[in-house]
Amino acid sequence: MNILKTAASQLGTKEIRGDEDNPQIVKYAQETGITFIDNDDIAWCSTFVNWCAKKSNLPITKKANARSWLNIGTHVLHPEPGDIVIFWRDSIDSWKGHVAIFMGFNYNCSRVFCLGGNQSDTVSITDYDIKKVLGYRRLEEIKKMRIPEPVLKKGNKGQGVMKLQLVLKHLHFNCGDVDGDFGQKTENALKILQANNLLTVNGIHEQKSKDCLESLLQT
């Protein structure tokens, strides 16, 4: 299901005031592996996006921190409906933020409309100041992910490297931005993958790392 349709199906889901919790909001966290959230009082914008992405067969962060979405998917400058938008909150240098699903801009592109959770304590469509945008991310369906053919190594550039970075990010190996540039962060992420799976640790995408990635994607 399209992520916007998934999110729209939850419109109106709202926190319950007092000691009682909305079980649907608690379920957003439970079904995405964010185990420490067991009530609707803790900020839940990221758990909502995690839940919508998982239901739509898209990569998730498994984190309640809104800014964790800056490390998932591909950075885009011209977002489309269904992309992820991340905002800063209180201060651009703070850890605080908000994340939601992008829908569009107002007439002069000064406001960003998005569908998200924990927007005035509910799932709603809200507009935010574009000056508070930290970034837009595009998620790719897991089933459409393609592991590139070896050999790829530090210094390589192009679509093959981008495919490798997308898979590494989906599997929560921090390779930096998905930019098609095989740099130090991509090499380090690949070395961690190799070490964790008892492969030769050389930071080079070879046949054994390809086989390992294919196996991990199927689990």
Cα angle for residues 33, 30, 138 (degrees, 5° grid): 60
The answer to whether residue 82 scores a pLDDT higher than 90 is yes
Is the same domain home to 134 and 149? no
Query: Do residues 34 and 50 lie in contact, with contact meaning Cβ atoms separated by under 8 Å?
Result: yes
Other beta carbons less than 10 A from residue 136's beta carbon:
20
What is the average per-residue pLDDT within 135-162?
87
Last residue of a domain, one of 138, 170, 203: 138
Cα atoms found within 13 Å of the Cα of residue 88, Cβ hemisphere only: 11
Domain that residue 193 falls in: 145-218
Q: Do 70 and 163 have their domain in common?
A: no
**Counted domains in the chain:** 2
Task: Answer for the pair 91, 132: CB distance below 8 angstroms, yes or no.
Answer: no
Q: Which of 79, 65, 212 is nearest to 147 (CA)?
A: 212
Examine the domain organization and report whether 83 and 17 are in the same domain: yes
Residues 164 and 206 reside in one and the same domain: yes
Please tell me whether the overall predicted TM-score, pTM, comes out greater than 0.85 for this model: no
What is the structure's pLDDT at 118? 95
